Amino acid sequence: MGKSINWIGIDDHADKLTICLLVGDEKTAAKEWEIAPTDAGLRHLIRWIKGLGGEARCVYEAGPCGYNLYRFLSSKGINCSVAAPSLTPRKPGDRVKTNRRDARKLAELFRAGVLTTIVVPNQRQESVRDLLRARDDVRKNVMSARHRLGKFLLRHGLRFRDGRSWGQQHWRWIRSTVMNEACEQIVLGHYINALEASLEQLRLLDEQVIEVAQEQDYAPMVAKLCTLRGIDVLSAMTILAELGDFRRFASAPQLMAAVGLVPSEYSTGEKTIRFSITKTGNAHARHILLQAAWHYQHAPREGVTLRSRRRGQPPHVVAIARKAEQRLHRKYRRMVARGKRSTVAATAVARELTGFIWAIGQQLRADLA
């Protein structure tokens, strides 16, 4: 590498930016300093970087401060990358952590080419992802509110036994319940109101997500993903918002690794030990894939809803979806028959389902070519 390249590691913090400059192959830092991430501080940073002789390459780790620094530097024509913090190499014996050491380490690893950088979404993509994550937060609130209400009633010896939980009949039973004590009635009303408020929030967010799914940027791929059993519009939008364009993954195993559905492994000498899945990468997409995988425990059957989703889609995409139905159901049944736990079988199915999703993404590339 030529000495004209300036490697700049930045430790991004809400209160200050710690910056380390390595010039070319020099082992000692040319400059280490700190600035406040204010408008004035960032303008000073831009002037300093542009005043350096030669090319400048900046890097910082993704974190709670988001991608504002990346977008600001990029808008000024400065080469900036964002590193995946979970994949940054760390020395097991290094017990000292400071902002300056972190900035220097980023610059050194970036220069060595061992950092794994991420694909930064544009602001529109990030806003859609925030919408999906907000919906997921509300979904969790609904589950928590249901549990609190159900467990409260159970503690007082009240349990619904005449039908499906949380259906209309169940709700009529809840609203008609009268507690023995006034304070208990107040608590019951509070739990009911909290659940109804969360359900209304979820309904409104679902409508917003479905509206976004009809936009040209998302509609074609959403429709193709919905040909798969277990994937509806909301699931497809979550997968797309979290993973972006599947065409950036060169192979299906790369996509599987990106959602943490590949087994972890410890190999040394002639010994190879494989453990449970890594659970690294995108947890939101992994949750959706695992939930979808449970649908394949049932025998393949094209119902009215699935048939309508497949209507009008390219034949090769529908063929992939039907192949997935047959293969994944067969895999689930065989694993369970061999004595594997159902959760293990569902995880294996989710991993292969990810491969079929990747295949559909590659078909989209062929359609656009």
**CATH of residue 25:** 3.30.420.140
Cα 14–chain centre separation? 23
Mean pLDDT in the chain? 94
Q: Is residue 118 in some structural domain?
A: no
280 pLDDT more than 90: no
Look at residues 49, 83, 112 and tell me which one is the last residue of a structural domain: 112
- The answer, yes or no, to whether residue 265 has pLDDT greater than 90, is no
Asked if residue 336 is part of any domain, the answer here is yes
Question: 70 and 33, same structural domain?
Answer: yes
DSSP strand pairing (31-35 vs 17-23): antiparallel
Q: Which amino acid is at 312?
A: G
Question: 337 pLDDT band (50/70/90 cuts)?
Answer: very high
The pLDDT confidence band at residue 17, using thresholds 50, 70 and 90, is: very high
The answer to whether residue 205 sits within a structural domain is yes
299 lies in a domain? yes
What mean pLDDT comes out for the span 59-71?
A: 96
Count of domains observed in the chain: 3
Share of the chain above pLDDT 70, in %: 98
Q: Are 226 and 272 in the same domain?
A: yes
Q: Return all residues near 112 (Cβ < 8 A) that are at least 6 apart.
A: none
Statement to judge: residues 224 and 193 lie in one domain = no
Residues 6+ apart with CB under 8 A from 212: 128, 131, 218, 237
Residue 321, pLDDT score: 97
Residue 117 in any domain: the answer is no
Q: What is the pLDDT of residue 366?
A: 57
Residue 1 within a domain: no
Question: In this structure, are 85 and 151 located in the same domain?
Answer: no
Query: Within a domain: residue 103?
Result: yes
Residues 99 and 12 in one domain: yes
Out of 213, 247, 269, pick the residue that ends a domain.
213
Lowest-confidence pick of 103-107, 116-120, 329-333, 345-349? 116-120
Q: How confident is the model at residue 272 (pLDDT cuts 50, 70, 90)?
A: confident
Tell me, yes or no, whether 159 and 98 share the same domain.
no
- Residue tagged 């902002």 (tokens): 99
Which of 112, 143, 173 represents a domain boundary (last residue)?
112
46 and 100 together in one domain: yes
Measure Cα distances from 51 to 70, 78, 366 in Å. Answer: 19, 12, 45
Residues 247 and 359 in one domain: yes
Q: At residue 40, what is the residue type?
A: A
Residue 133, CA atoms < 13 Å, CB-side half-sphere = 11
Question: Whole-angstrom Cα distance, residue 292 to residue 312?
Answer: 23
pTM above 0.85? Answer: yes
The half-sphere exposure of 68 on its side-chain side, counting CA atoms within 13 A, is 11
pLDDT tens track for 181-223 = 999 999 999 999 999 999 999 999 999 999 999 999 999 999 9
Domain residue limits at 168? 123-213
pLDDT digits (tens, 9 = 90+) for 78-132: 999 999 998 899 888 888 999 999 999 999 999 999 999 999 999 999 999 999 9
The proportion of the chain whose per-residue pLDDT surpasses 90, expressed as a percent, equals: 86
Contact between residue 231 and residue 225 where contact means Cβ atoms under 8 Å apart: yes
Q: Are residues 196 and 225 in the same domain?
A: no
* Sign of the alpha-carbon dihedral angle for 21, 16, 110, 117: negative
pLDDT at 368: 52
Q: Which two tokens stand for residue 148?
A: 């609190």
Assess whether 96 and 159 both reside in one domain.
Answer: no
Q: In terms of domains, do 16 and 137 share one?
A: no
Shared domain check, 90 and 127: no
**Residues 161, 164, 139: CA angle, nearest 5 degrees:** 125
Q: Is the pLDDT of residue 1 over 50?
A: no
* Token duo for residue 237: 């939008």
Which amino acid type is present at position 67?
A: Y
Asked if residue 28 belongs to a domain, the reply is: yes
Buried/exposed 76-87: b ≥16 CB within 10 Å, e otherwise: eebebbbbeeee
